[in-house]
Amino acid sequence: MVQLIYLTTLLPLLGFLFNGLFGSKIKNEKIIGIIGSSTIGISFLIVVGAFFQTLSMPVDQRQTIVNLFTWIKVGNLDVNVSYQVDQLSLLMGLIVTGVGFIIHVYSIGYMHGDKGFGRFFAYLNLFIFAMMNLVLGSNFLLLFLGWEGVGLCSYLLIGFWYDRKFEKSTTSDAAKKAFIVNRIGDFGFLLGIFLIYLTFGSLNFNDVFARAASLNIPQYVFNFIALFLFIGAMGKSAQIPLYIWLPDAMAGPTPVSALIHAATMVTAGVYMVARCSIIYASAPAIMEFVAIIGALTAIFAASIALVQNDIKKVLAYSTVSQLGYMFLALGVGAFSAALFHVMTHAFFKALLFLGAGSVIHGMHDEQNIQNYGGLKKYMPKTYVTFLIASLAIAGIPPLSGFFSKDEILWSSYADGNIIYWLIGVVTALLTAFYMFRLVSLTFDGKERFGHDKHPHESPAVMTIPLIILAVLAAVGGFIGIPEIFSGEHGNQFDNWLEPIFQPAQAKIAMFGVHSSLEEIVLMVVTLVGVIGSIYAARYIYIKNIKPAEKLSKRFNGVYNLLLNKYYVDEIYDASVVTPIVKGSEIVLWKFADIKIIDGLINGVANLIEKISGSIRKIQTGVAQFYALIMMLGIVAALFWIILSL
Amino acid sequence: MSVPIEYYLILSGFMFLVGVAGVLTRRNAIIVFMSIELMLNSANLSLVTFSSYMGNSTGQLFVFFVMTVAAAEAAVGLAIILAMFRNKLTLNIDDINILKW
């Protein structure tokens, strides 16, 4: 099975080609949907097979390189298309194909009747192809190929409904924004790759990481590599200051938001940093930077999510916030905790988005939660699954989010700084609050929609994926039960990934010993806060809205600041976009282009015209004058010949 | 007793100069045309002279060709002059200066 891993990229590619080429000809949605989903389903089975095969191997032999063909061979640069099957890539592969398959099936129901049905599945398959290259590639260049590929698919899918309006502009504008902001990050990533090749003379993960661990390389080189790679991760994984594209990415269809902008693509940055853990472990200053950015993003995005009214916007900011959590974990050296959260987040956030999609589907494209209310009796399955996901993201035991979030909080306290822990806890409280504000406004309370809306439960093809994901979101955390509860076997999830992060962990100076009592106390403190936060949200948004209104009136400035997302878009507009547009217009266009370039060319033309204008007078048109000149010429030539004899 | 070759050549050169002067100074197209014929014939005279002087008949043969071509050229030239006259109602070549920028 491990040797067949190339099929997990080949099949989605074939699916993409089939649906892309013939999708518009085939009018039957079933055929398109089955082909689109089954390629991913088979890939998932192959990854599962490879996982169990790897699991049966001894721990020190769990890495297999599947070499397909030589891609680039120039001088010392030798890049193969080869896939690295190890604990980390298998984990990511399982998430991508597993959650991907569920979302593909869901899309058959969600996209029913859309005129771009075939195109949609073609893009989704192309996305899985790129994402699998990203997580399986055994060198930085293949990683980069996948990295750019998922960016392209993200662009195509955000702008999928290119003829629709989105907020103040169009979905194409949102797509362009995502692509351009990602380009900024990708540029940093590319610089990082160049620097890696310059320093280590190779792009293969194994070579680079072995040399990073053994060679004596100056500190600042590591710092620069780690920083550049992290800039790439900031773009792809929506961290401050490059997070602004993710909320706008909600212009795409909801399954896209679930698959690309919640479960898989946005975690690529986390995967990449975890993959390069040894490089980051060698650059402590950048680790600190990663942790700070992660913590800031977590609390910043969570505070925006408190007051948003678009159901998908709330979830989008929640995603940004949870990604911040993951980077906080990476920054304090808890790599496996970050990946644990990647996994549980993929379950519950995909579920939340698909649930939101189900609500939007049932409410005929209404997305404002102020116009929902009381939906739980109309769509019970959606409600229950959505509630499970909300409890999971809020961190209520024993749902999956509790374990991953708790591990991150504990690591940030133990390995990092009490400030990180504090920010983490406040974010957890905010998360619980905005999630239950969302749940209460959507499913509980009075019905606030008009009589023209007839909410209904979604078809089985949509609710069954919801139920599967709900089960995963509920029990997914059990593979990572912390050591204090599970006894001598320790955290199974950490054990599985341990060989990958072992070199990095060895390099990071480990923290002092903390008692397990401390861990339990912190856990209980967080839990009490979260439960209180949930009750507060339910009280305010179901029973008595007055405190919230009073609060928003009292702190009108803060409320508006949050509602307008800290005016970050406006600030970027004023500080980056407008100067570039104005600069291009005034300096580049009206001065450099018109005055210098056009002026140069027109000047040359004018000069030639002036000169030739005076010379052309010689041509009088009188034939005799021409004859005279000819005569004189002949005479002169004769004289010259005679004299030279 | 033969005439020295210089006599022929001087005559030929004189005829040529007369032709040149005619082409350059006269304004009537017909006369310019006749002057050109004069130049052609001066060249013919030189050819015949050298042919006889060298005892080689090639030059004389060549003159026949020149005369044939000149006859054809005269026909074409006169036709052009006729067409021009029909257009402009004049034969003054100063007025026919359309051959410019």
pLDDT (0 to 100) of residue A511: 53
Which residues in B have their CB inside 8 Å of a CB on A? 20, 23-24, 32, 93-94, 96-101
Nearest Cα of chain B lies from the Cα of A575 at a distance, in angstroms, of 57
Distance from the B39 Cα atom to the nearest Cα atom in chain A, whole angstroms: 13
- Residues A12, A149, A301, A163, CA torsion sign: negative
Q: Give A614 to chain B, closest Cα distance, Å.
A: 12
Q: Does residue A587 have a pLDDT over 80?
A: yes
Please report which confidence band the pLDDT of residue A454 belongs to, taking 50, 70 and 90 as the band edges: confident
CB contact under 8 A, A627 and B96: no
CB within 8 Å of A513: residues ≥ 6 apart: none
Mean pLDDT estimate for chain A = 89
Tokens (6 digits) for A126: 């192309």
Measuring CA to CA, how many Å separate A14 from each of A101, A132, A152, A155, A179?
Answer: 16, 14, 18, 21, 25
Cβ–Cβ of B97/A622 closer than 8 Å? yes
Task: Show residues of chain B in contact with A623, CB under 8 Å.
Answer: 93, 96-97, 99
Question: Tokens for A446?
Answer: 């009075």
- The whole-number pLDDT of residue A62 equals 87
Query: What is the percentage of chain A residues whose pLDDT exceeds 70?
Result: 98
Highest mean pLDDT out of A486-490, A510-514, A563-567, A599-603: A599-603
**Are A619 and B23 within 8 A, CB to CB?**
no
User: What is the per-residue pLDDT for A488?
Assistant: 65
Q: In this structure, what token pair is assigned to residue A340?
A: 């644990």
Give the integer Cα–Cα distance in Å for A389 and A347.
8
CB contact under 8 A, A616 and B94: no
In this prediction, residues B33-56 reach a mean pLDDT of: 92
- Nearest CA of chain B to the CA of A644: how many Å? 22
Interface-testing mutation among A619, A620, A624, with chain B (most B C-beta atoms within 10 A): A624
Check CB contact under 8 Å for B99 and A623: yes
Query: pLDDT tens digits, residue range A148-203?
Result: 999 999 999 999 998 888 877 888 889 999 999 999 999 999 999 999 999 998 99
What pLDDT sits at residue A392? 93
Kindly calculate the radius of gyration of chain A based on its CA atoms and give it in whole angstroms: 30
**B99 contact residues in A (CB cutoff 8 A):** 621, 623, 626
Position A333 scores a pLDDT of 87
What does the alpha-carbon distance between residue B79 and residue B31 come to, in Å, rounded to a whole number? 15
> Which pLDDT band holds residue A29 (cuts at 50, 70, 90)?
confident
Of the ranges A265-274, A317-326, A449-458, B40-49, which one carries the lowest mean pLDDT score?
A449-458
Touching check for A75 and chain B: CB below 8 Å?
no
Q: What is the pLDDT of residue A467?
A: 93
CB contact under 8 A, A628 and B100: no
> Is A153:A130 a contact under the CB 8 Å cutoff?
yes
Q: Where are the domains of chain A?
A: 293-480+488-563, 569-643
Which chain A residues have a beta carbon less than 8 Å from that of B93? 622-624
Contacts of A624 in chain B (CB under 8 A): 23-24, 32, 93
The residue to which tokens 């990946």 are assigned: A339
B65-86 pLDDT, tens digit per residue, is 999 999 999 999 999 999 988 9
- What are the chain A neighbours of B101 within 8 Å (beta carbons)? 616, 619, 621
**pLDDT at residue A311 above 80?**
yes
Confidence of residue A291 (pLDDT cuts 50, 70, 90): very high
Contact (Cβ atoms closer than 8 angstroms) between residue A371 and residue A398? no
Contacts of A621 in chain B (CB under 8 A): 97-101
Look at A631 and B99 and tell me if their CB atoms are within 8 Å: no
Binary contact (B101, A619; C-beta < 8 A):
yes
Residue A8: pLDDT over 70: yes
Whether the per-residue pLDDT at A237 is higher than 80: the answer is yes
Q: Give the per-residue pLDDT at A126.
A: 95
Torsion of CA A266, A267, A271, A277, to 10 degrees: 100
Confidence class for position A487, pLDDT limits 50, 70, 90: low
- The chain A residue lying nearest B20, using CA atoms, is A631
Q: Say whether B99 and A628 touch across the interface (CB within 8 A).
A: no
**Is A622's CB within 8 Å of B98's CB?**
no
Q: Does A622 touch chain B (CB under 8 A)?
A: yes
Contact (CB<8Å) B101/A631: no
pLDDT tens-digit series, residues A118-141: 999 999 999 999 999 999 999 999
Q: Do B93 and A622 touch (CB under 8 A)?
A: yes
The residue length of chain A stands at 645
To the nearest whole Å, the CA of A176 is away from the closest chain B CA by 55
B84 interaction partners in chain A (CB closer than 8 Å): none
Taking CA–CA distances from B100, the nearest residue in chain A reads A621
Taking the Cβ of residue A631 and every Cβ of chain B, the question of whether any pair is shorter than 8 Å is answered with yes
Which chain B residues have a beta carbon less than 8 Å from that of A619? 100-101
Within 13 A of A54's CA, how many CA atoms are on the CB side?
25
Residue A469 has pLDDT above 90, yes or no: yes
Asked if A56 reaches chain B (Cβ–Cβ under 8 Å), the answer is no
pLDDT at B100 over 80: no
Interchain pair A620, B96: CB under 8 A: no
Q: Does A616 touch chain B (CB under 8 A)?
A: yes
Distance CA A492, CA A498 (A): 10
Cβ neighbours for B29, distance < 8 A, ≥ 6 positions apart: B81, B84, B91, B92, B93, B96
The pLDDT-based confidence of A514 (bands split at 50, 70, 90) is low
- The mean per-residue pLDDT over the stretch A311-318 comes to 93
Alpha-carbon distance of A68 to A6, in angstroms, equals: 8
The reported pLDDT for the residue numbered A564 is 82
The yes-or-no verdict on residue A229 having pLDDT over 90 is yes
Tell me the three state secondary structure of residue A1: coil
Alpha helix (H) ranges present in A71-169? 87-110, 117-136, 140-158
Residue B99 banded pLDDT, cuts 50, 70, 90: low
Instruction: Report the pLDDT value the prediction gives residue A435, as an integer from 0 to 100.
Output: 94
In this complex, the residue of A619, A624, A627 whose CB is nearest that of residue B100 is: A619
pLDDT of residue B63: 94
Which pLDDT belongs to residue A557? 81
A589 to chain B, closest Cα gap in Å: 38
Q: Is the dihedral of CA B87, B89, B94, B95 positive or negative?
A: negative
Closest chain A residue by Cα to residue B99:
A621
Question: What does the pLDDT look like over A238-264, one tens digit per residue?
Answer: 998 899 999 989 988 999 999 998 889
Average pLDDT over residues A479-502: 79
- Reference A367, options A377, A356, A381, A383; nearest CA is A356
Question: With an 8 Å Cβ cutoff, are B97 and A616 in contact?
Answer: no
How many Cα atoms are found within 13 Å in the side-chain-facing hemisphere of A586? 5
B12 pLDDT tier (thresholds 50, 70, 90): very high
Contact B93 A624 (CB under 8 A): yes
Largest CA distance in chain B: 58
Query: A626 contacts in B (CB within 8 Å)?
Result: 99
Q: Residue B91: which pLDDT band, with cuts at 50, 70 and 90? A: confident
Q: What is the DSSP string of A476-507?
A: GGGGG--HHHHGGG--HHHHHHHHHHHHHHHH
Residue A614 at interface with chain B, using a CB cutoff of 8 Å = no
Which of chain A's residues have a Cβ under 8 Å away from the Cβ of B23? 624, 627
